[in-house]
Amino acid sequence: MKTVSVVIPIYNVQDYLTKCLNSLYDQLNDTIEVILVNDGSTDNSLEICRKYAEKYPNTIVIDKENGGLSDARNVGTEAASGEYIYYLDSDDWLAPGATFDDAFKVKRILTVGHVAQEKRTAYSYSGIEVTFW
């Protein structure tokens, strides 16, 4: 099982996609899988995705009819095998030196009988803390 699945919904972003993917693959390790969800692009986005998938074996390309951003994220989430999911917009990029080891920390906070809950804290690269359950 991978530690982090990075889901990237893609729709007609050929002008930005290479920068986005390079920023991610420059920092990739064996515990991260990348799921590229082409949401019915009519430009060269799908071809760019396929080239990266040929080069990086931990990449999954999903080509689907256009259903919108939420649908593309949902499809990518269903395909994910990681313990954590990181959503990266295809027109954004990761800052140099950003790592997923720093981005995700898990703290056990409660165990009651057979029920265990985890508090997951994700730290953004600007230092803003976001907590989700």
pLDDT in tens, 52-64: 999 999 999 999 9
Higher pLDDT pick, 42 / 28: 42
Residue 8, strand partner residues: 36
pTM: 0.76
Question: Phi first, then psi: what are they for 23, rounded to 5°?
Answer: -65, -30
**14-25 and 45-55 helices, crossing angle to 10°:** 20
Report residue 38 as tokens.
């082409």
Output the CATH code of domain 4-96.
Answer: 3.90.550.10
Confidence band, pLDDT 50/70/90 cuts, at residue 1 = low
Report residue 35 as tokens.
């799921």
User: pLDDT tens for residues 77-129?
Assistant: 999 998 888 899 999 998 887 766 555 544 333 333 333 344 444 444 444 44
Q: Where are the domains of the chain?
A: 4-96
